[in-house]
């Protein structure tokens, strides 16, 4: 298995060189060819007529995380509206790179017209992308990890997740203090950008200091262990930023166990329902919600336009918002149209 994975990754690196002349390596946060999700209709016109015979595949990281289940819900909402087929599948866990690759390759072999992919790493789905491209199958990279040669990407500005949390600490702790980061999976674009945004903003302020930054691979248990160790080393720590909500909830448990709940703020990323509930209970301080259902709907909108021959920006940026106890109720809207209007007003 390890030998096979190395072969796959080597193939990915070769393909990066092959396609470098066609596309510059994608940096989704800073790609200049971008359109905001609110401007799709204004810029490209109304949705084209949709063929009900279409088959669109969604390839997710895992279904054990609510964020990715919610993204699939967004795909299904659009498929139900227009009456075409969508198949949403995921690897067994967030470390199953080969399993995720096999899913993507199977959907291509089954004649699906398009793929919405959320890779586990920036490289593991590159071989499937090559095959899809050779067969004329539309592919959109949706959030999180970013394939460098992806022609199209839909998702939020990952760096801004960390920036928003850092600004909260700067505003609420003008006297300064120690903070720490619980990172996601090393080598994943989203994790790197979220961490970078937080650290750079903290460092620019000059009063707060990042005293630890430890990967926990998206694991709640590993985040608990990492946070426990950090709190032992820095008992005066005033806050944590975790790269996703699952890890943040693990950090909340560690902070509580250390008796530091009043002293140490904890922020996550994603906006899952457990995070909202924890915020409302006064446990988790906040999260940066990236609205996965809406993101899924936007991504499906984009791939349908591509299949119908429209020329779309390389990046379509989706919304995000810092959620704390002050605004958690307002953003807990179940009506998707009301949520859209709320976000459009930001």
Domains 2-11+29-155+292-318 and 158-289 are alike in CATH topology: yes
The helix/strand/coil state of 222 is helix
Tokens 């009456």 — which residue?
83
Side-chain-side CA neighbours of 48 within 13 Å: the count stands at 15
Strand pairing of 265-270 and 114-117? unpaired
Structure confidence at residue 342 as a pLDDT band (50, 70, 90): very high
d(CA 129, CA 305) in angstroms, rounded, equals 19
Report residue 345's pLDDT band, with 50, 70 and 90 as the boundaries.
Answer: confident
52-61, 234-243, 281-290, 326-335 — which is least confidently predicted?
Answer: 326-335
pLDDT band at 337; cut points 50, 70, 90? confident
| DSSP letter assigned to residue 70 | H
Topology annotation, domain 2-11+29-155+292-318: Rossmann fold (3.40.50)
The yes-or-no verdict on residue 247 having pLDDT over 70 is yes
* pLDDT of res. 30: 97
Share of the chain above pLDDT 70, in %: 94
Mean local confidence (pLDDT), 98-102 = 98
Q: In the predicted model, is pLDDT for residue 29 greater than 50?
A: yes
Cβ proximity of 213 and 203 under 8 Å: no
Residue 86 CB coordination number (10 Å): 22
Nearest Cα to 156, choosing from 308, 289, 22?
A: 289
Residue 326 has pLDDT above 50, yes or no: yes
Question: For the stretch 267-305, what's the b/e string if a residue is b when 16 or more beta carbons lie within 10 angstroms of its beta carbon?
Answer: bbbbbbebbbebbeeebbbbbbbbbbbbbbbbbbbbbbb
Within 10 angstroms of residue 8's Cβ, the number of other Cβ atoms is 18
Contact of 152 with 306, CB cutoff 8 Å: yes
pLDDT band at 34 (very low <50, low <70, confident <90, very high): very high
pLDDT of residue 270: 97
Q: Which residue has the higher pLDDT, 6 or 330?
A: 330
Selecting from 3.30.70.380, 1.20.1090.10, 3.40.50.300, 3.40.50.2300, what CATH number does the domain 158-289 have? 3.40.50.2300
pLDDT digits (tens, 9 = 90+) for 131-185: 999 999 999 999 989 999 999 999 999 999 999 999 999 999 999 999 999 999 9
CA distance 278 to 174: 26
Terminus-to-terminus CA distance in the chain, angstroms? 48
Euclidean distance between CA atoms 174 and 172, whole angstroms? 6
pLDDT of residue 112: 98
C-alpha 127/C-alpha 110 separation (Å) is 17
- Structural domain boundaries in the chain: 2-11+29-155+292-318, 158-289
Residue 222: is its pLDDT beyond 80? yes
Average pLDDT over residues 291-314: 97
Q: Which tens digits make up the pLDDT trace of 48-73?
A: 999 999 999 999 999 999 999 999 99
Mean pLDDT score across all residues of the chain: 93
- Give the predicted TM-score (pTM) of the model: 0.90
Give me the mean pLDDT over the 325-344 stretch.
Answer: 92
CB burial of residue 172 (10 Å; 0-12, 13-18, 19+): middle
Q: Tokens at residue 219, please?
A: 């694991």
Instruction: State the pLDDT at residue 287.
Output: 98
d(CA 156, CA 317): 5
pLDDT above 60: residue 332:
yes
Residues 90, 150, 158, 57: is their CA dihedral positive or negative?
negative
Using pLDDT thresholds of 50, 70 and 90, give the confidence band for residue 7. very low
Higher pLDDT, 14 or 138: 138
If pLDDT is split at 50, 70 and 90, which confidence band does 19 have?
very low
Interval 250-267: pLDDT, tens: 999 999 999 999 999 999
How many other C-beta atoms are found inside a 10 Å radius of the C-beta of residue 340? Answer: 17
Q: Is residue 224 over pLDDT 60?
A: yes
Q: Examine the pLDDT at 111 and tell me if it is beyond 90.
A: yes
Distance of CA 58 to the CA centre of its chain: 15
Task: Taking each helix axis as running N to C, give the angle between helix 245-257 and helix 273-280, from 0 to 180 degrees, rounded to the nearest 10.
Answer: 30
> What is the predicted pLDDT for the residue at 343?
93
Per the DSSP assignment, residues forming a β-bridge with 57 are: 87, 115
**Is the pLDDT reported for residue 20 higher than 50?**
no
């Amino acid at each position: 298995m390890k030998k096979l994975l190395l072969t796959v990754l080597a193939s990915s690196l070769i393909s990066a060189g092959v396609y470098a002349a066609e596309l510059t390596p994608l940096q989704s946060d800073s790609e200049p060819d971008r359109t905001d999700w609110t401007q799709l209709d204004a810029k490209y016109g109304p949705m084209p007529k949709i063929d009900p015979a279409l088959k669109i595949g969604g390839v997710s990281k895992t279904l054990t995380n609510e964020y990715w289940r919610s993204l699939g819900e967004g795909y299904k909402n659009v498929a139900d509206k227009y009456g075409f087929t969508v198949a949403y599948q995921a690897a067994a866990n967030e470390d199953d790179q080969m399993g995720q690759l096999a899913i993507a390759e199977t959907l291509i072999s089954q004649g699906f017209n398009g793929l919405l992919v959320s890779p586990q790493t920036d490289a593991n789905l590159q071989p499937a992308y090559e095959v899809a491209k050779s067969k004329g199958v539309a592919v959109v990279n949706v959030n999180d990890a970013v394939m460098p040669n992806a022609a199209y990407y839909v998702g939020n500005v990952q760096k801004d997740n960390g920036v928003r949390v850092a600004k909260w600490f700067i505003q609420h702790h003008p006297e300064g203090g120690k903070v720490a980061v619980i990172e996601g999976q090393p080598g994943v674009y989203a994790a790197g950008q979220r961490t970078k945004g937080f650290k750079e903003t903290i460092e620019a302020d000059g009063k707060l200091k990042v005293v630890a930054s430890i990967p926990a691979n998206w694991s709640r248990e590993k985040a608990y262990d990492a946070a426990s160790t950090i709190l032992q080393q820095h008992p005066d720590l005033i806050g944590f930023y975790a790269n996703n909500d699952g890890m943040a909830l693990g950090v909340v448990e560690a902070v509580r166990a250390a008796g530091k709940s009043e002293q140490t703020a904890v922020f996550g990323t994603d906006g899952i329902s457990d995070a909202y509930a924890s915020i409302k209970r006064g446990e988790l301080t906040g999260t940066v919600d990236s609205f996965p259902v809406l993101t899924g709907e936007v991504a499906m909108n984009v791939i349908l336009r591509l299949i119908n021959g429209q020329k779309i920006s390389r990046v379509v940026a989706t919304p995000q918002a810092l959620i704390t106890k002050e605004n958690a109720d307002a953003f807990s809207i179940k009506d998707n149209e009301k949520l859209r209007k709320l976000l459009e007003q930001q």
